Structure 1
Amino acid sequence: MSDYIVRATAANSQVRAFAAVTKETVETARKAHNTSPVATAALGRLLTAGAMMGVMMKGDKDILTLQIQASGPLEGITVTADSQGRVKGYVGNPEVIIPANDKGKLDVAGAVGIGLLNVIKDMGLKEPYSGQVVLQTSEIAEDLTYYFAVSEQVPSAVGLGVLMNKDNTVQQAGGFIIQVMPFAEEETIAKLEENVQKIQSVTTLLEQGHTAESLLEAVLDGFDIEFTDKVPTEFYCNCSKERVEKALISIGRKDLNEMIQEGKEVELNCHFCNTNYVFSVEELKEILRKCR
């Protein structure tokens, strides 16, 4: 597996940790949406976080949605993930181009803007769990760190990174999430904070040849680590012509009739993977026959 997520515990289970390598996942998203470099970086960071947060969920049918609704020219980001490491997502404006930030890097915060992060977990209950926080830096990793602390009361450290090639393809992508359990000792927390402050950027570590495992070893330096799981991760969309047909059935006879009367084929687009589905007038008539 080229892209994967590892799960681990450390310090006698006082710490749980996740790390992911997501270069192919982010490159697949870039190709699907033809995103600009800054849009790829922003979407890639949230896809990486979504993949790791997805595998935190227990149920096979559990679905996580991360939504950033903000004022920047990117016009928001939406990512959904499942518990098997499959993730998909899109940005509102994939072509956004803005100047580099004062460090000469892609200005993700400027592209995202001021706004909100929504986290929705659909675990098959009557109501999905929903948490919302104000974006703190709009760099995404820090915003998720804040979300975990405020909405889930879990002190966490989140690191995310996407590095682009000169030809706008993805050079590196990955990240980590470290979480402290309620029974963690002060000494453990202090050592973790010290480690996180010392750590270089995720993309620097990946460029040095780090794997998901050695990313965690770097962040958890000085702790005993037990790797408990390794899960493949990929950009995956479960849309199909059949699913789109069901959506057309749901709009009702009146609207379908109007489409047929126009006498033109209808093209529908999947936001998540940018696939277009074309229905001829004959196919629309067949769908109308299936409507009650």
Structure 2
Amino acid sequence: MEIRYNNKRDQGKRSGEKMSDKLISSLAFDKTVRGFAVDATATVQEAQRRHQATGAGAVALGNVLLGTLLMSAAGLKGDQTLSVKVMGDGPAGLIVADGRSDGTIKGYLQYPQITVPEDPAHQIAVHEAVGTQGTITVTKDLGLKQPYNGQTPLASGDIGADLTYYLAASEQIPASMGLAVHLAADGMVDAAGGFLVEMMPGATDDTATALETQIKALPQLIDWLPEDHTPADLLDAVLGAKQQILATQPVAFQCDCSKERFAKALAGLKPAQLQQMITDDHGAEAVCRFCQTHYQFSEAELKALLPTE
């Protein structure tokens, strides 16, 4: 199943009036369908702030963050991680998001300050930023000897539709995903959320038909987001009232970078490269591409990283 949403502007509330970001999971249709829904408004706003992204950049990155959050909730446990990389032919360039089962996520895009055409309501279709040709690559670190890697071509540049296609083609999971990022008139994110439903073994054709009918009957997701609807409301609309809520968890933009990690990376450079930094610059600055945190290394700190004889 595939579902698309048009971007329409609605006079909704800004994130300061919203509850904390959260993701819920549930079962429905006699436990043959799994459902997940997320409100990640503050998470996407934090990503926009950290990367100083325009509205177009925030829509592109936000959609990938949302999709990664939902797939992480559906497919991970414990310390497992999931990475989604989108390489399209649009102006955003490479977009990367890394998610964990605990609801934390980080991400970046190659060109955050892009400009693309808006519709009359100041909204941006995600394919304008991502492009319509390229690839989606999903990497899962499940704690095995080798991570799982799957890749499919971009089908439309609509991240929800393209991840739906990935799940079917690469992981053989019949699914439907809907994502949307709403912008205020000033280009700042004021709502972001979405849903994922997956058919499980035992689901019948009648269940698939009923689910598809309910999804097609949904209002435009972009119109829901700025209002007071919760993730539970969204799953009620997608799955119907007869569902079992399994869990509710917070979600947040959180990077695990540290100065110690960058020190290890610097220590892995050739001694001549470190010495050049010491001689020419008397120090170094490292910038995390995921969260834009800057780490300063003094001349003395760089000298301490040189191998001893």
- TM range, smaller chain: over 0.9
Number of residue equivalences: 290
Q: Deviations over 1:185-226 (max 9, x none)?
A: 1111100011111112222122332100110001112x5100
1:202 counterpart = 2:221: yes
Q: RMSD over aligned Cα, in angstroms? A: 1.7
Gaps of 5+ in 1: none
Moved over 4 A (4+): 101-104
C-alpha distance in 2 between matches for 1:126 and 1:135: 29
Q: 2:306 aligns with which of 255, 279, 288?
A: 288
Match of 1:118 among 108, 120, 137: 137
| C-alpha displacement of 1:103 | 8.7
1:174 is aligned to 193
CA distance in 2, matches of 1:95, 1:45: 16
Q: After TM superposition, give the deviation of residue 101 of structure 1 in Å.
A: 5.5
Q: Deviations over 1:165-195 (max 9, x none)?
A: 1222221100000011121011111000111
Using the TM superposition, give the Cα deviation of residue 94 of structure 1 relative to its aligned residue in structure 2, in angstroms.
Answer: 0.3
Give the Cα–Cα distance (whole angstroms) in 2 for the partners of residues 194 and 64 of structure 1.
31
Equivalent residue, structure 1, for 2:147: 128
Task: State the one-letter code of the partner of 1:184.
Answer: A
Alpha-carbon distance in structure 2 between the residues aligned to 1:51 and 1:167: 26
Tell me the residue number matched to 1:66: 84
Alignment partner, residue 174 of structure 2 = 155
Q: Encode CA deviations 1:233-280: one digit per residue, 9 max, x unaligned.
A: 000001111111111112232321221121432111101001111111
Three-state SS of the structure 2 residue aligned to 1:217 is: helix
- Superposition pairs for residues 44-63 of structure 1, below 5 Å? 44-63=62-81
Give the structure 2 partner of residue 249 of structure 1. 267
Correspondence list, 1:1-292, <5 A: 2-100=20-118, 105-113=123-131, 114-221=133-240, 224-288=242-306
| 8 A Cα contact 1:52 1:85, kept in partner | no
TM-score, structure 1 as length reference: 0.95
Q: Deviations over 1:1-47 (max 9, x none)?
A: 70011010001111001000000000000000000101101111111
- What's the TM-score once normalised by structure 2's chain length? 0.90
Can you give the 5+ residue segments of structure 2 that lack an aligned partner in the other structure? 1-18
